Structure 1
């Protein structure tokens, strides 16, 4: 039983005509008829009832039809899978990134991806979260890592959570005990150093203050966490920044204090939904799933600064 014969069988069943089936399959009618007759002989019973103006399925033909369709669908899926595999030999993968991914799983994923698919051309685009989201939605890049919105949903994209994080206050060393949370109204009375409006994190901070009826005035807006804490060390103000940032690791110039109430945020990996992802993107997602099932070298926070 050959796939080509099953294709002809399905065409006759759907067109109810050998002539129309032949035109649909771009072959002459005798070729269709001969294949169907051979199939009927192989199966031991007629598949069609030949009427003056049309042909209709017999009970045997009706029984065969779903199996024939399943066979062709499986063959098409296999062909597509191997087309994707061959595409990985020379495809491209454009990934957008916000700042500070060095402490997340992204470097490990990209490293393993490069080892497995060395001929895929990977390009990285750094920008703010709103800009990267627009590029993903417009199809300018394949995927991106962005700060998830405070409401917890991202419209018009598919997503996976990469990192759960929180905002902390960074103050000059000796200015406050680290075991006492800092209320937001106390923060609001000091010059604030934090992310600018072009950062996805800015919305988390702004909405947390608004929920407490507080006005948020950012005196020094920068998405560069290293610059934020350098300004703190100069005693310019208090920085509100990502707790997961490697920049905050053990520096005697400042202290890190939790906020009350906590300002939580997420970093998410996003791509366009609704269409079959490209082979390089599918391979990246599959690799993510595979490596997530393995022991990781990352620490418990698996974090980085959410800089965009």
Structure 2
């Protein structure tokens, strides 16, 4: 069992895709598939359930996951120690973060980074996806945490998914819609809609979903801060469509979280420029194993 093979296993487990895992590891997809099959033969069990659309861990894969992460963490720690000994890791890591970063694995990742590289300063710049992505392109930010648009991030960028979730409806607890098992998109045509502004990475995904359902997309209130969306819902302004992964929305008794039909999945990722542009601190961050989020 090789460290490289375990790194491929982790990439497939975290990306839920052999194609995305291959892009993340900078290898051809057949190489990833071959290594995973060899690992499955070595262990005597299938590690992934595969079909034409999804890749998910089996029970055996879930059993291997913490061991693979432990090995990856040990390798990263060894690299960190010798990088620190040679004085390579100095300077500042410049990161941009759109709304919702506190609900992602990035804070835990930065906690590990700080313990391994205490001499590197980290600057966090808040903003919207529309404002942050150009700063990566121009090189003023090393990487940014943003929503992945439906059409992808385009050429010239690489990314690592940190959240996979879906949009949910926030409904005032006393409203009839709060009793429903789910809300269809046409329900929002009869109620003021509270959701993200056009500068948010989730705005395009929402508009695309409404267009596919042939329902007019007319937000009455636009804010990228889910905490404010929640307060507007509690005040009786309307119904909100928000990221389901945001912490705290399920704990407010004034508001009920209701699933949306059809589902509107989304991903949020750490993205950076492809090629030889990554700074030493960014490369060190990307080498760290993905924090365990109960996968």
Aligned twin of 1:157: 157
Q: Aligned pair 1:114/2:100, yes or no? A: no
Q: Aligned pair 1:261/2:259, yes or no? A: no
Q: Aligned pair 1:125/2:138, yes or no? A: no
**How far did 1:103 drift?**
2.5
8 Å Cα contact 1:225/1:247 also seen in 2 = no
Evaluate the alpha carbon distance shift between residue 115 and residue 206 of structure 1 in structure 2; reply closer, same or farther with a 3 A threshold.
same
4+ aligned runs moved over 3 Å, structure 1: 81-85, 152-155
Q: Aligned pair 1:87/2:96, yes or no? A: no
Q: Distance in 2 between matches of 1:83 and 1:103?
A: 30
8 Å Cα contact 2:250/2:257 also seen in 1 = no
**How far did 1:153 drift?**
4.2
Evaluate the alpha carbon distance shift between residue 82 and residue 263 of structure 1 in structure 2; reply closer, same or farther with a 3 A threshold.
closer
Aligned twin of 1:98: 98
The CA RMSD measured in Å over matched residues stands at 2.0
8 Å Cα contact 2:165/2:267 also seen in 1 = yes
Q: Helix, strand or coil: the match of 1:95? A: strand
Evaluate the alpha carbon distance shift between residue 82 and residue 164 of structure 1 in structure 2; reply closer, same or farther with a 3 A threshold.
closer
Aligned twin of 1:24: none
8 Å Cα contact 2:84/2:117 also seen in 1 = no
**How far did 1:190 drift?**
0.9
Q: Aligned pair 1:248/2:249, yes or no? A: yes
- Within a 5 Å distance, the mapping from 1:116-195 to structure 2 comes to 116-175=116-175, 176-195=177-196
8 Å Cα contact 2:98/2:126 also seen in 1 = yes
Q: Aligned pair 1:283/2:268, yes or no? A: no
Which string of whole-angstrom CA distances, capped at 9 and with x for unpartnered residues, describes residues 45-86 of structure 1?
Answer: xxxxxxxxxxxxxxxxxxxxxxxxxxxxxxxxxxxx969952
Q: Helix, strand or coil: the match of 1:285? A: helix
TM-score normalised over the length of structure 2: 0.68
Q: Helix, strand or coil: the match of 1:256? A: strand
| Residue-pair matches, total | 213
Q: Distance in 2 between matches of 1:92 and 1:251?
A: 38
Which string of whole-angstrom CA distances, capped at 9 and with x for unpartnered residues, describes residues 119-150 of structure 1?
Answer: 11210111111211111111111011110001
Q: Helix, strand or coil: the match of 1:197? A: coil
**How far did 1:91 drift?**
1.9
Which blocks of at least 5 consecutive residues in structure 1 are unaligned?
1-80, 301-308
* Structure ID, larger Rg: 1
TM-score normalised over the length of structure 1: 0.65
Evaluate the alpha carbon distance shift between residue 117 and residue 188 of structure 1 in structure 2; reply closer, same or farther with a 3 A threshold.
same
Q: Distance in 2 between matches of 1:126 and 1:84?
A: 33
Evaluate the alpha carbon distance shift between residue 181 and residue 85 of structure 1 in structure 2; reply closer, same or farther with a 3 A threshold.
farther
Q: Distance in 1 between matches of 2:169 and 2:84?
A: 51
**How far did 1:178 drift?**
4.7
Evaluate the alpha carbon distance shift between residue 194 and residue 82 of structure 1 in structure 2; reply closer, same or farther with a 3 A threshold.
closer
